[in-house]
Structure 1
Amino acid sequence: RPVAGQHGPADEAWWERAPVREDLTRYLAGALTSAGQERTPLLVLGQPGAGKSVLTRVLAARLPAAGFLPVRVPLRDVRAEDDLQEQIEQAVRAATGERVTWPELVRSAGGAVPVLLLDGFDELLQTTGVHHNDFLVRVARFQEREAEQGRPLLALVTSRTSVADRARYPDGMVALRLEPFRAAQIQQWLAVWNDANAAGFTARGLRPLSWEVVSRHAALTAQPLLLTMLALYDVAGNGLQRDGGEPLDEADLYEELLFSFARREVGKTSADMASDGLLRERAELEMQRLSLVAFAQLNRRRQWVSAAELDEDLAALLGRSSPGASGFRTPLGAAEVALGRFYFVQRAQSVRDGHVLATYEFLHATFGEYLAVRLALHVLSALVQNRPALALGDQRVDDDLAYALLSYAPLSGRQMLRFAGAMAARMEPGERERLSRVLIRVLDQHETRTGDQHPAYRPATLRVASRHGLYGANLVLVILLLTGGTTAAELFPGSANPVSAWHRHALLWRSALNEEQWTDFALSMTLHRSWDADGRRTLDVAPRYGAPSPPDPVDANWLYRYPRGHGGPGWSRPYWDEIWHKMEVSGGTNDSLVRHVMDPVFAWLGPSVTTFVATEGEPATSLAHDLLHLLLSGGVELTDAELELTYRRVLRGMEALPGSHVHRVTALLATVAGRDDARLPADLRSEIYSFTR
């Protein structure tokens, strides 16, 4: 699709207007013979593992030598600071061993059209920041210059879709996206895989990999490289098929998938691993190293991290180690080697000033999310064993590492919560109960935290208050998943007013999160307000599963600390205008939107907002609530009994209103009562008439 302006190709919605084609070869043949392509490059986008680099190799091999001179330039291997012509000449020398200038190369082609295949623009962007966001524009200028010199050329640039929004686009450029596999293509791939491996399957007593099995994991199988990864995992004893039993759930699949690859790679390079236990231990260390990569990305709120940033994180969290160290404390040089051998970790690189700049990204974002949650629960679970030598007094739990890792980003993304919930469900009930008690203790002691034992760990620049809020929010999320639901009193056992404590903490959490994060966090739980056996207010909090439903109606008895079903005299508060003003001061989008909707209510019916009527055995409501309920329901949504009860509450509430606002309420009451007159008892109609005449 042609790119207009500076936005589009990175957004999924932008592609909805572009037709999906299956004739890639024919399309490219047309594009590479079109005169228009001599002025701007063709941008080829795709997810990691979609086949972008392979496409450039296939093109280089298949373009007819009589008409085209393909020059493939892996941008990761050329100096990023050089201009495009120098980068091309570096790639030619690397491929042929000969030094040749670009004009000499073109003249030697004997009239064949040069085709530049510039592979990995995203790696330039990712490793050098914004310094090369004009790369596509520079390619177009190079094409224009060559055309003016009588050496017209074509250019194709590949990039991951996720960084396309950071690029500047030349006028007239066309973008092409490699689509994920659809069901028919996955089935075709499986047919080739099963046919090629049929003899091996038979010799080892394995079943072929079927569409029925693969279709359960649609999020992974849509990408060719990830589909290959699943197939390789299944080769080890039909692990994906569970011997024909129940399929692996999402968390179990990720655990077995990633751990099996870690174990396999450790086994390849560690011939001395005689003990299965030692092999598992080394594989676990690899998983933890990968998990630190995941946290480096999560805490920077992006899907990649540079080698330099990862080096800083490891040094800050674990200290610098000697070359002979092992495990978590292995120096980053060795970590780079370890990460490089896992092909589900994408390593992007470029060369600048003679130095290789590298970044790491997981082929699928959910790999990083799973690993981050896995390490988070591992670190938190270790707190259970963190017992002081003396049990006397209130000993502090040493949660410094947990605070460092979990105070920069929330774990409330829906996929992360699913992973965490599944992992918590696998724990023994007693283990979950012990861990939840420890985390509640940590939540309490964290309120007075003043120090930071990992001051060099700074994946992002955040206010101290924001870090406190994020850490507290993450602790609460994990506690909810471990317990299946708890109360404000259990979360804040030292508080004289747990309900108010929840409110204060919620304000801190909200201030620490951006709007998207706050939405995810709020939607991760459900709240229920009630009373305990002694008549005290309780607030129950539980994880939310499934689609969100409307919250429970507010009972003003609960808000103002009256007993459940309190049916005594109503009450009024004079500060309705202060509520209105405080909504203005808070200034958030959500508060402002609610205030916008409620402005007419405050302006015309202000005192009715804080005038309450209690009915025996029923929730207490405000006069404004009942008036709006009558007005907006049209009466048809209420039974005759509900309609009568609501009108009687309105009349009782009007008795407490200041005189300056009674006439406004009576005008509204007259309007709705006229509509419902036929459904109301005679005595109630008479009482309403006495107010409204």
Structure 2
Amino acid sequence: MLVLGDPGAGKSLLTKLLTARLPAGEFRPLRVELRHTPAEADLQTQLEHALRRATGRSLSWPDWSEAEPGVIPVVLLDGFDELLQAGAQRLDSARHWGYLREVQQFQEREAELGRPLIVIVTSRTVVADHAEIPYHSEVLRLEPFAEPEIERWLDIWNTTNADHFDRHGLHPLSLQAVLPHRDLAAQPLLLLMLALYDAVDNAQHRLHDEELSRTQLYDRLLTEFVRRQAEKDGPMPPPEVAFAVQRELYRLSVVALGMFHRGTQAIRSEETDRDLSALGAAAAGGTGLLFGRFFFVHEAQAIVAEERLRSYEFMHATFGEHLAVRLIDHALQRLAEAASTDPLAPLDDGELYALLSFTPLTDRAQLVQNLRERLEAWPVNEQRAGLVSRLTDLFRDAAWEPAHRTEVAYAPVRKTRACRDAVYEVNLLLITVLAAGAVHASRLVDDRDDLLGEWRRHARGWQAQLSPSSWELLTSTLTLEPCPRELSVAGQVTVADDLRISTTYTPRDHHELRWPERLPELYVSNTADLVRRVMFTADADAELLLHHSYSLLSRFPRATAPEDGEVRSPAELLLTLLVKDVIPPLTLPDLYVRCLNQSGWLPRDEAVPYLEAVLRQLAHDAPSMPDDALALVLSTLHRMATAGMSGLAPVLVELLLPCVRDALGRTSPHLAEVLDSLRVYFDGHDAIHLTLLGHSTYTWQWTGPLYGAEAAHRLDGVLADLDLRETAASRPAALVDLLRLAAELDLGHWLSAHAAEILSALPAEAFGLLRPSDLGPLRAALEKGEYEAEFQEVERTWRGGPTPPAGTPAPRSPGA
């Protein structure tokens, strides 16, 4: 069984309780503190080492486990996480990964030898993924306190300490006072920290009344606990106590930042010593004494090759995040104070470069939020404005190796100079944005020639040096928006491009090109060049976008760039239309109008297929459009065709006809005028195509006043031009439409002459295209009983008539 829990959740206490309470006649417990066993040894050696520590004698595991026949040994391996963390520096990772598997194999071997045993391993939850958990293992997690457990804990605390509260005139700690800090109160050890803090002068109650921010709360909590520890060293004057408190907090902050730069929540003792020495804050007596003074720091131990190794972490990750930001904030304050004391003195950013050049602060969202809160607490005066000014100066000079920078030998991780410079620039940018709320790129980069190009060079340099995950987190934290910037040169005001950089993200309804005049013209001949440019950079994001847009680039090279003054290209509008990515304020009719308008300036070889796609989609959308909306779209098409295309290509006329048919079927006065204007595109149009595509009497009559003999003559021509068998096989619906049209035009003689011929050409399944309303004119035109079986099947299908008896053959036309 694997028992998981947070620091202080009670894992070790659980093993002690099991050791004390398991029935002696059934179980024989052996509690093993892994921090005191040789980490590099195999499991049996570790157990025998624990036996020697417990009994003072050397005992073999077989002798101990067989000493009481019939009693099952229960081995409690406490602190597997300490073995993982403290021993990580010396042991092979494979040893850590396979440790639990080794435990399982040990149990299997012992069972085969007739010595079955139970093994329970405890570990902190955060390191559970650093080891392979054997299949079929039982995993138990000690959950954080919920509100009932917190309330019960407080009842016990207040009852136990009632005399203390009475003597000092204090109120018991209430549930309402701790619930605002539920993330701390949910962990027993941190709940104790809150209770101890309140036990002095009801400080926790005052915090509740003041509604402090998280940063202010942590400042007071940690400062109070460090002050208590400093006073334990003996009486000191208040100034010395204050100095000692700040010194200890500085050391803890250095340790916290070292953890962040290393990407871990734990740090080894020698790493801590190295970091503190580099920043001039070495602790007397080493890190063991430093950390041993504070119970909110957890120490992990392991013995490797008879050497005791230690690593440290904060009981709650937020403590480390708070202290790391505290260190950065104080460095910024010193920078601002130096600038205000002597504004003309050269800046020495050696300390800031050392602290900010290893890991982007955006790698941890809580660090960004903590730093924002600290900077917002700065007075809104010249100090904050001066900080922003100094940070922008440092950003501009960062790539030029400032001559006045003091070299600080702080190196928590090994990074190239190029990487450190990139990370430093990124962090300066972030802090500038947090301090100012927003900043314009023109304040940061040289904009005399090409601000956008200069910004792009910086951004690509950062992307080249940061890991993919760091780049993702940076770009999701900072947002860039184009904005105009007014310049006054020799009394003339001009507008230049600029970028506004902030942490505010506004969701987009659609994408607009920021600077369309800077885009290269994309012609078919150089689409391949664009592809080569993207592929050469090996930019996965750009290649993904290219993958999705390649068909558009190839088919509509000029449609991918917007018309002058536009921020949306014809290609982007078409995609929006096809995928129905339409939300207010751009409605569906408006989107059609913009697509049609922008198609007018495309060359004809692109305009025709572009409009094909638009009209195919319109055929689906037209039936659901209101009359005035459809009239707007059709009038825009007519205006565009008249002005830019000298009419519509035949293929476009065919695609337009379903929309016209739908409009004619409405008999709407809103549509009458625009339909009259569209009639010109159908004058002299191939009657066959009109017949095949437009089976409505409205459509037929709209194309011209055809009645009686003239209409019959036109239908004779249509039928003569058709290959009846081929049409019946490929488009049987067209022949059914032709019969229906003759009936609607009351051409009974024409039906009598041709209905049998047409029906004989139809395959049997095509009779399903007929409706009951079609059957009356057909029966009147045919010989009595001709095709009656097929007609009755149509009626049965539509009207739900009785099902034919089983075995009844399918109806067949007389000509079949």
Same fold (TM over 0.5): yes
Measured in 2, the distance between the counterparts of 1:661 and 1:577 equals 18
Measured in 1, the distance between the counterparts of 2:278 and 2:465 equals 23
Q: Aligned to 2:136, which of 155, 172, 175? A: 172
How many angstroms does 1:294 deviate by? Answer: 1.0
Give the letter for the 1:670 counterpart: L
Tell me the SS of whatever aligns to 1:81: coil
Give the letter for the 1:308 counterpart: E
Greater Cα shift, 120-129 or 104-113: 104-113
Give the letter for the 2:231 counterpart: G
Match of 1:421 in 2: 372
Q: Aligned to 2:253, which of 277, 291, 316? A: 291
Match of 2:437 in 1: 484
Give the letter for the 1:628 counterpart: L
How many angstroms does 1:381 deviate by? Answer: 2.4
Measured in 2, the distance between the counterparts of 1:301 and 1:243 equals 32
How many angstroms does 1:495 deviate by? Answer: 5.3
Tell me the SS of whatever aligns to 1:527: strand
Q: Aligned to 1:597, which of 536, 548, 552? A: 548
How many angstroms does 1:577 deviate by? Answer: 4.7
Q: Aligned to 2:225, which of 261, 265, 270? A: 261
Give the letter for the 2:434 counterpart: L
1:86 aligns with 2:36: no
Question: CA contact under 8 A between 2:254 and 2:324: conserved in structure 1?
Answer: yes
How many angstroms does 1:578 deviate by? Answer: 4.0
How many angstroms does 1:276 deviate by? Answer: 1.6
How many angstroms does 1:672 deviate by? Answer: 4.2
Measured in 1, the distance between the counterparts of 2:86 and 2:588 equals 69
Measured in 2, the distance between the counterparts of 1:505 and 1:154 equals 59
Greater Cα shift, 549-558 or 525-534: 549-558
Give the letter for the 1:233 counterpart: Y
1:436-484 per-residue CA deviation (whole Å, 9 max, x = no partner) reads: 1111111111112289965854433333322222111111111111111
Question: CA contact under 8 A between 2:207 and 2:217: conserved in structure 1?
Answer: no
1:270-289, aligned counterparts within 5 Å? 271-273=234-236, 275-289=237-251
Measured in 2, the distance between the counterparts of 1:259 and 1:511 equals 41
1:522 aligns with 2:470: no
Give the letter for the 1:302 counterpart: T
How many angstroms does 1:530 deviate by? Answer: 1.8
Pairs aligned (count)? 620
How many angstroms does 1:109 deviate by? Answer: 3.6
Give the letter for the 2:252 counterpart: L
1:329 aligns with 2:289: no
Q: Which has the higher helix share?
A: 2
Question: CA contact under 8 A between 1:72 and 1:117: conserved in structure 2?
Answer: yes
Greater Cα shift, 506-515 or 118-127: 506-515
Q: Aligned to 1:686, which of 622, 638, 645? A: 638
TM-score (norm 1): 0.82
Measured in 1, the distance between the counterparts of 2:510 and 2:456 equals 18
Match of 1:510 in 2: 463
Tell me the SS of whatever aligns to 1:680: helix
1:189 aligns with 2:153: yes
Q: Aligned to 1:97, which of 45, 48, 56? A: 56
Match of 2:400 in 1: 448
1:549-564, aligned counterparts within 5 Å? 549-551=506-508, 556=513, 558-560=515-517
1:623 aligns with 2:596: no
1:670 aligns with 2:629: no
1:28-427, aligned counterparts within 5 Å? 42-109=1-68, 111-129=70-88, 130=93, 131-242=95-206, 245-269=209-233, 271-273=234-236, 275-318=237-280, 328-331=281-284, 333-386=285-338, 396-412=346-362, 413-427=364-378
Question: CA contact under 8 A between 2:283 and 2:290: conserved in structure 1?
Answer: no
Question: CA contact under 8 A between 2:276 and 2:283: conserved in structure 1?
Answer: no
How many angstroms does 1:285 deviate by? Answer: 0.9
Structure 1's 576 and 509: CA in aligned 2 closer, same or farther, altered over 3 A? Answer: same
Match of 1:39 in 2: none
Measured in 1, the distance between the counterparts of 2:527 and 2:318 equals 47
Give the letter for the 2:483 counterpart: S
Question: CA contact under 8 A between 1:609 and 1:622: conserved in structure 2?
Answer: yes
Measured in 1, the distance between the counterparts of 2:69 and 2:571 equals 85
Measured in 2, the distance between the counterparts of 1:164 and 1:643 equals 53
1:599-614, aligned counterparts within 5 Å? 599-614=550-565
How many angstroms does 1:558 deviate by? Answer: 3.8
Tell me the SS of whatever aligns to 1:612: coil
Match of 2:594 in 1: 646
TM-score (norm 2): 0.71
Gaps of 5+ in 1: 1-41, 319-327, 563-570
| Larger Rg, first or second structure (1 or 2) | 2
Runs of 4+ in 1 over 6 A off after TM superposition: 388-392, 450-453
Question: CA contact under 8 A between 1:400 and 1:454: conserved in structure 2?
Answer: yes
Measured in 2, the distance between the counterparts of 1:191 and 1:102 equals 45
Gaps of 5+ in 2: 487-493, 623-628, 650-816
1:264-322 per-residue CA deviation (whole Å, 9 max, x = no partner) reads: 111112x141x22221111111111111111111111111111122223334444xxxx
1:48-96 per-residue CA deviation (whole Å, 9 max, x = no partner) reads: 2221111111111111222221111101011222232232232223233
% identical equivalent positions: 35
Give the letter for the 1:152 counterpart: P
Question: CA contact under 8 A between 1:527 and 1:541: conserved in structure 2?
Answer: yes
Question: CA contact under 8 A between 2:509 and 2:583: conserved in structure 1?
Answer: no
Measured in 2, the distance between the counterparts of 1:219 and 1:640 equals 48
Give the letter for the 2:205 counterpart: Q
Measured in 1, the distance between the counterparts of 2:100 and 2:576 equals 59
Greater Cα shift, 85-94 or 294-303: 85-94
Measured in 2, the distance between the counterparts of 1:592 and 1:212 equals 54
Measured in 1, the distance between the counterparts of 2:541 and 2:9 equals 39
Structure 1's 138 and 388: CA in aligned 2 closer, same or farther, altered over 3 A? Answer: same
Match of 1:13 in 2: none
Structure 1's 506 and 241: CA in aligned 2 closer, same or farther, altered over 3 A? Answer: farther
Tell me the SS of whatever aligns to 2:73: strand
Measured in 1, the distance between the counterparts of 2:369 and 2:70 equals 59
Structure 1's 581 and 397: CA in aligned 2 closer, same or farther, altered over 3 A? Answer: same
Match of 1:18 in 2: none
Question: CA contact under 8 A between 2:4 and 2:141: conserved in structure 1?
Answer: yes
Match of 1:460 in 2: 413
Match of 1:540 in 2: 500
1:372-403 per-residue CA deviation (whole Å, 9 max, x = no partner) reads: 111112123222344699977xx642212222
Structure 1's 585 and 226: CA in aligned 2 closer, same or farther, altered over 3 A? Answer: farther
Structure 1's 553 and 578: CA in aligned 2 closer, same or farther, altered over 3 A? Answer: farther
1:309-348 per-residue CA deviation (whole Å, 9 max, x = no partner) reads: 2223334444xxxxxxxxx2335x4332111221111110
Tell me the SS of whatever aligns to 1:87: helix
Give the letter for the 2:321 counterpart: E
Greater Cα shift, 398-407 or 514-523: 514-523
Measured in 1, the distance between the counterparts of 2:28 and 2:326 equals 50
Give the letter for the 1:399 counterpart: D
How many angstroms does 1:135 deviate by? Answer: 1.8
Measured in 2, the distance between the counterparts of 1:113 and 1:69 equals 6
Structural RMSD (CA): 2.9
Tell me the SS of whatever aligns to 1:155: strand
Give the letter for the 1:621 counterpart: R
